[in-house]
Amino acid sequence: MRFHLHREHGTASAQVVLVTPVLLLGIMLVFQFAMYEHASHVVTAAAQHGAAAAQAERGSEAAGRRGAQAFLGAAGSGLLGAPEVSVSRSAERTRVVVRAAVVSLVPGFAFTVTGVADGPSERWRAPSER
């Protein structure tokens, strides 16, 4: 014999209706965080790739920019929006900064990631300069 209270009809449906959107939002936030972390690693690697090209003895700012953009095209397509690459190279130091927007899964969330690589510029020195 089953005993039902009349005022409890439909409570399971109401609970599902209330809990499901919260659960889906939580799952989307987990994926958004994972995408943010991955995008952060991609722009840092792109900056390092560009810095390696720009730091070389015959490297240039243009070579660094091309290197970073090529890496972003290969590893960041579909993940990053509107990447910006800035390269500065002097006789002593080279610095590459890559900024990009992360594609958003959760409406209303807009994230930007930045990767920086900095190091000495390679140059040939005569034995007397060392």
Task: Give the mean model confidence (pLDDT) for residues 2-12.
Answer: 62
Report CA 94 to chain centroid distance, whole Å. 22
Residue with tokens 């599902």: 16
Which domains, ranges and CATH numbers included, belong to the chain?
A: 6-129 (3.30.1300)
Helix (H, G, I), strand (E, B) or coil at 62: helix
Helix (H, G, I), strand (E, B) or coil at 120: strand
pLDDT at residue 96 tops 90: yes
Task: Give the mean model confidence (pLDDT) for residues 46-59.
Answer: 92
pTM over 0.85: no
* Amino acid 1: pLDDT: 52
Confidence of residue 5 (pLDDT cuts 50, 70, 90): low
Q: How far apart are CA 67 and CA 54, in angstroms?
A: 8
Q: How far apart are CA 74 and CA 121, in angstroms?
A: 26
As a whole number, the mean pLDDT across the chain is: 87
Tokens of 49: 């790739």
Confidence of residue 3 (pLDDT cuts 50, 70, 90): low
Pick the range with the lowest mean pLDDT from 46-55, 94-103, 120-129: 120-129
Q: How far apart are CA 53 and CA 84, in angstroms?
A: 17
Residue with more model confidence, 74 or 17: 74
* Amino acid 98: pLDDT: 97
Contacts of 49 (CB under 8 A, 6+ apart): 67, 68, 70, 71
Confidence of residue 7 (pLDDT cuts 50, 70, 90): low
Residues in the chain: 130
